[in-house]
Amino acid sequence: MTLLGGNLNWDDWAKGLVAAFIGGGAGAFSAGLSAIIVDHNDFNIYTLKFWQLVFGTFVIGGLVPFFAYLHQKPIPDVKQVTTTVQTTTVGAATPKVVETVKETHVEPIIPKETKDV
């Protein structure tokens, strides 16, 4: 099931954006800890300055990979799903239904590098 419907794989694309942002911002707490080492009077986990630094670092650190992901993948991939239902009956027994789902992704072709003569 896709998030917004249609043939675009919005789920994987949105998960990639969120993962890029969180992964980039994950170092924010370590930046806050570094500030504690440098100036433990103004920066500690009980001060607003500490959490402002951590939050600001998280946002800035998360936006860089977020936009890098958008640069690499500006729109979701196309997703095609084919469903096949097969009914098998052996003698007078109850028919057995087997459902097979085949998922096909369309991926862009990476152009070969050309050498200038």
103 found inside a domain: no
Confidence class for position 106, pLDDT limits 50, 70, 90: low
57: domain range? 10-72
pLDDT of residue 108: 55
pLDDT of residue 1: 46
Domain count, the chain: 1
93 found inside a domain: no
60 found inside a domain: yes
SS3 track for the chain: CCCCCCCECHHHHHHHHHHHHHHHHCCHHHHHHHHHHHCCCCCCCCCHHHHHHHHHHHHHHHHHHHHHHHHHCCCCCEEEEEEEEEEECCCCCCCEEEEEEEEEEECCCCCCCCCCC
Q: What is the pTM of this model?
A: 0.59
Q: Please state, in angstroms and rounded to a whole number, the distance separating the CA atoms of residues 100 and 82.
A: 8
Angle of CA points 47, 31, 53, to nearest 5°: 40
52 found inside a domain: yes
115 found inside a domain: no
pLDDT tens, residue by residue, 92-103: 767 777 767 666
2 found inside a domain: no
27 found inside a domain: yes
50 found inside a domain: yes
Q: Which of 26-30, 57-61, 89-93 has the highest mean pLDDT?
A: 57-61
